[in-house]
A = this chain, B = another copy of it.
Amino acid sequence: MPPLIGVLGGMGPLAGVDLMQKMIRATAARSDQEQIPVLCWNVPQVPDRQRALAGAGTSPLPAMLAGIAVLNAAGATRIVIACNTAHYWFEQLAAASAAPLIHIADATLAALPPGACVDTAVGLLATRGTIDADLYQSRLAARGVSCIVNTEEEFERYFTPGCYAVKQGHIDAGAALLQQAAQALLTRGARQLLLACTEVPLALAHIASPLLALSIDPTWALAQECARYWHSAAQFE
């Protein structure tokens, strides 16, 4: 079966597009034909992940499983999820997929240079669901890196409304709020930022935020992992 990256996207739709764009950038290609082949299921009707994890909405799992089925039926050989929060259901999605799934936090840790961030604190910009699911903290702790996360008040004032503003297409306004959430982490001692919600790196890029210079972008790490897979699997002439 020829290599094909399946993207489970739509959460939100701009995050799927951002990942596709980064995959193209991560793939050194001399022609269209050497570029990375992708099938992106960008179906935003998946029920809200944050609300479901807060106990306030229906589970997104059946809709995501439908997406995984589409990607497998179409011949995907690897599948990635363009949403950190959705990785809460990673094991169930992986169990239902013939194609192996690449985990965004594994890709992020693989991209981190050895010794990076040790003995400093990383500001983890992520949804409450991503934090509660421990997607990043244990992986970072195993490398000697500790995390600072937003307080409840910062979530309510900055992070959550910022995230939903991006989803509503108010990217500038959303980015300004997300920058305030990031600034709060820096004020409390973070030296670097981990942009562990896929709306965050695209929003900060949209306003050319200076905070990007301090940031680790899991979407970019995932894109690089996909490009590595494509280069190892493809047979160029």
CB-contact partner of A38 in B29, B34, B42, B74, under 8 A = B42
A73 interface hit (Cβ, 8 Å): yes
CB-contact partner of A32 in B30, B31, B35, B46, under 8 A = B46
Q: What residues on B are CB-neighbors of A33 within 8 Å?
A: 44-48
User: B44 touching A20 by the CB < 8 A rule?
Assistant: no
User: B17 touching A44 by the CB < 8 A rule?
Assistant: no
Q: What residues on B are CB-neighbors of A37 within 8 Å?
A: 10, 42-45
Bound CA span A21–B24, Å: 15
Q: What residues on B are CB-neighbors of A100 within 8 Å?
A: none
Task: Select from chain B the residue with minimum beta-carbon distance to A7.
Answer: B40
Q: What residues on B are CB-neighbors of A29 within 8 Å?
A: 44, 168-169
How close is A39's CB to chain B, nearest CB, in angstroms? 6
Question: Of A12, A34, A40, A70, which is in contact with the most chain B CB atoms at under 10 Å from its CB?
Answer: A40
Residues from 41 to 56 in A contacting B, C-beta threshold 8 Å:
41-48
A200 interface hit (Cβ, 8 Å): no
Task: Select from chain B the residue with minimum beta-carbon distance to A21.
Answer: B17
Q: What residues on B are CB-neighbors of A12 within 8 Å?
A: 32, 35
CB-contact partner of A40 in B39, B73, B168, B169, under 8 A = B39
A4 interface hit (Cβ, 8 Å): yes
How close is A38's CB to chain B, nearest CB, in angstroms? 5
Q: What residues on B are CB-neighbors of A164 within 8 Å?
A: 31
User: B44 touching A32 by the CB < 8 A rule?
Assistant: yes
Q: What residues on B are CB-neighbors of A48 within 8 Å?
A: 31-33
A185 interface hit (Cβ, 8 Å): no
A175 interface hit (Cβ, 8 Å): no
How close is A121's CB to chain B, nearest CB, in angstroms? 31
User: B39 touching A20 by the CB < 8 A rule?
Assistant: no
How close is A90's CB to chain B, nearest CB, in angstroms? 19
A191 interface hit (Cβ, 8 Å): no
